Structure 1
């Protein structure tokens, strides 16, 4: 039996490379060692990076007795140990069942008007001829959508405080250097309010106070007419008739606020970059959007083939999550000739799988047509992970992404500012586009046919 190779680079250097130059680390490792490689990116235990689709299929299909996911401990300090991301086994299955209903079917699509209204509100402040920060605008849209849909909050002191606090706590890891505190536990020392970790803890405490106050207010004054996600979470019951505790609710709320806000903002920012970086993509997309009847509902927009292809290719070329949640081997397992003993950590490498020339010819090129020409399997295209740990908010994220793009492009003509490069950078545990004011509105669109009806 084979044993996955390991780079000769010292473990500490590998961790630094993962922090500051993750794409170069993955690409060089694949070039030197192939589809299986041991990398020391967190702690003293290696994670086996796997970019072979067949192997990833076997990982996704394995039973809980063989493989169970182990959520990133990097997120524990932010989302809490009761978060769906960190739960495993039967605890994870229970929580997932409780959280699933709000994200599928008519309940999810009922949020379409909120998404378009928020988008129009934010872009109405873009001034013609004045460059703006795409990322900041997309963050504002995604955060307001989350606050509206999850909490049903539209205004008021609690809404304003949550918006400001979440932005401040997430910006603490907006660069690789700032994110270092997550990867090196020795830096997690509270030296007072002015120290990075001390500031984080105090901001988190303020957020917790607001979340628990909201939960308590809902318990004291139940309103069965509310259809926001928090209300649905509080009314959900497991097979034993038990509801989620306040701690479970808090941790899932933080998970939704963090995961649903940051990731969608990054994806939307990348999409707007690629659409305006490639004139032919923009032209095809505008032609498709202009062909939609003015009374089209949100479902028709969601199903538009080229818009879907643009979103899929955006998430392929620079996936927000670079690897899947690591699976921990529960009992020895063989995958493609490799024997993995109990305790081994295995992770599907999303970035490298999406860059395989045998799957995606000329993978460094942005080409939405590839998603119109063939259908990729769940272990070949996996921006939301896969198996029993696939992102619960996948449908909601794609729905929001398409509606925001359709609304922006139908309202305004935009152009890239050529001399500002946009490159992938680490932002916390995710991959995001670099900042800067690299987009400008040149005028309002004359042909506006997009209308979302609920």
Structure 2
């Protein structure tokens, strides 16, 4: 049986390519080695070799056999995320503990409950754009980050205003933004940079912000435990009441780490996908025209859930996530017993990651894969192993339904109630942002005017 081809480039060069030019790194090695290759490029923040696959049938096997017998989905393999989200949460748990935690977290993210957030999403979008009307140049990534962060604060924490709300929004946004450039992203991959070398160091600033955020979170958790309110429906309130089959709930540290993971996932990826969607909508007049025609068929002022069922709007959102998925790779799986994949023998202990980016750019699945074409999602139904912006299997993003709703309602609200124009006159390409992708430069818009909208609710 053949062994998986290994990238021959020296390890330090692989690491540099992965950190500063991840898409070309993946594409070049795919062209050279095909659907499966082994890298030492620090994909997991250490020197562990990782097998990368991009064949849909192999991805299907990877994501449907990860219950622990043939393949497992080990949280401990994703150690690079510990400084960002803590250790006691669903993404970094494994086996039975992962299943227990995921079961506790699932109810607040069921589709019917997500619909209840529709009015909040629309009001947050309206308010954020109205506050930017006086600005000549508006950074779309920051604006979308404001929308997604406020959505998290309201739906996850039940916060709508006040000093705590404003401090948490400011501190957490600043904490992520400081490690979001290609250079500062090495914070994830080189652990020694995370150390506190003094007030001048990135590690010092990061840990200082983390302590301030923790103080707010633990204080909020304690207050909610002391004064429970059965009428509250935010995710934190539901998690405080959640019990597993043995009657055990989540500790304060569990809640803190789960909240940090939800904030990381809900803020970063959704804001980036919204930014790309707006960039393409306002770069391509035909796309904008088709969207406006479709949006004119629904009454949206009183029922924003109608945005969620519009086919072309849905296609635009999907195409934005296909072309430049916010996450480049699936979470890792570990081989538990010898198996054959793509014609190669894999031994126990081997770590495997699926390349979401490479799958989304396969010519036979997506003709002209580098072209933004929402119509492809109207012409064909793609499987969960051909289109997977939220990952898959037991590690699929728990907030995927909420992210889908946010994108559709936010974009529908923007297009029907505001008049935007794109300022950038040069094409924008993706670049590394943390562990994912984002536009390489600021996407700038001007908000010319807006329609009359309802008064904002506190």
TM-score, normalization by structure 1: 0.96
Q: Secondary structure at the match of 2:48?
A: coil
Q: Secondary structure at the match of 2:353?
A: strand
Give the whole-Å Cα distance in 2 for the aligned partners of 1:270 and 1:395.
19
Unaligned runs of 5+ in 2: none
Name the counterpart of 1:38.
38
How many residue pairs get aligned? The number is 449
Aligned-residue offset at 1:443: 3.5
1:64 aligned to 2:59? no
Change beyond 3 A, Cα 1:295–1:144: closer
Query: Out of 352, 357, 360, which is 1:351 matched to?
Result: 357
Give the whole-Å Cα distance in 1 for the aligned partners of 2:180 and 2:209.
16
Change beyond 3 A, Cα 1:5–1:378: same
1:4 aligned to 2:10? no
Please tell me whether the aligned partners of residues 64 and 89 of structure 1 are also in contact (alpha carbons under 8 angstroms): yes
1:152 aligned to 2:155? no
Name the counterpart of 1:47.
50
Task: Give 1:34-433 correspondences, 5 Å limit.
Answer: 34-42=34-42, 43-62=46-65, 63-71=67-75, 72-127=78-133, 130-294=136-300, 297-433=303-439
Give the whole-Å Cα distance in 1 for the aligned partners of 2:417 and 2:41.
44
Please tell me whether the aligned partners of residues 193 and 202 of structure 1 are also in contact (alpha carbons under 8 angstroms): no
Alignment root-mean-square deviation, CA = 1.7
Give the whole-Å Cα distance in 2 for the aligned partners of 1:424 and 1:130.
25
Instruction: Note the alpha carbon deviations across 1:371-410, whole angstroms, 9 max, x for none.
Output: 0001001101111001111110000000011000001111
Aligned-residue offset at 1:97: 0.3
Per mean C-alpha deviation after superposition, the further-off stretch among 33-42 and 276-285 is: 33-42
Please tell me whether the aligned partners of residues 307 and 408 of structure 2 are also in contact (alpha carbons under 8 angstroms): yes
Name the counterpart of 2:27.
27
Instruction: Note the alpha carbon deviations across 1:194-236, whole angstroms, 9 max, x for none.
Output: 2111211121111111111111101110111100000011111
Change beyond 3 A, Cα 1:37–1:437: closer
Please tell me whether the aligned partners of residues 420 and 448 of structure 2 are also in contact (alpha carbons under 8 angstroms): yes
Give the whole-Å Cα distance in 1 for the aligned partners of 2:440 and 2:146.
17
Give the whole-Å Cα distance in 1 for the aligned partners of 2:366 and 2:238.
40
Please tell me whether the aligned partners of residues 128 and 443 of structure 1 are also in contact (alpha carbons under 8 angstroms): no
Please tell me whether the aligned partners of residues 181 and 187 of structure 1 are also in contact (alpha carbons under 8 angstroms): yes
Give the whole-Å Cα distance in 2 for the aligned partners of 1:23 and 1:277.
23
Q: Secondary structure at the match of 2:448?
A: strand
Aligned-residue offset at 1:189: 2.1
Aligned-residue offset at 1:77: 0.9
Q: Secondary structure at the match of 1:202?
A: helix
Change beyond 3 A, Cα 1:128–1:250: closer
Give the whole-Å Cα distance in 2 for the aligned partners of 1:52 and 1:353.
7
Per mean C-alpha deviation after superposition, the further-off stretch among 98-107 and 268-277 is: 98-107
Instruction: Note the alpha carbon deviations across 1:278-328, whole angstroms, 9 max, x for none.
Output: 110000001101111356633321010000000010100000010000101
Q: Secondary structure at the match of 1:206?
A: helix
Please tell me whether the aligned partners of residues 289 and 410 of structure 1 are also in contact (alpha carbons under 8 angstroms): yes
Instruction: Note the alpha carbon deviations across 1:237-296, whole angstroms, 9 max, x for none.
Output: 111111111111111000111110011110100000011111100000011011113566
Name the counterpart of 1:13.
13
Q: Secondary structure at the match of 1:107?
A: helix
Please tell me whether the aligned partners of residues 131 and 437 of structure 1 are also in contact (alpha carbons under 8 angstroms): no
Give the whole-Å Cα distance in 2 for the aligned partners of 1:350 and 1:358.
15
Change beyond 3 A, Cα 1:275–1:180: same
Unaligned runs of 5+ in 1: none
Give the whole-Å Cα distance in 1 for the aligned partners of 2:213 and 2:200.
18
Change beyond 3 A, Cα 1:154–1:435: farther
Aligned-residue offset at 1:106: 2.5
Which stretches of structure 1, 4 residues or more, deviate above 4 A after TM superposition?
A: none
Change beyond 3 A, Cα 1:178–1:353: same
Per mean C-alpha deviation after superposition, the further-off stretch among 77-86 and 391-400 is: 77-86
Instruction: Note the alpha carbon deviations across 1:63-108, whole angstroms, 9 max, x for none.
Output: 3122112342121111111121111100000000000000113222
TM-score, normalization by structure 2: 0.95
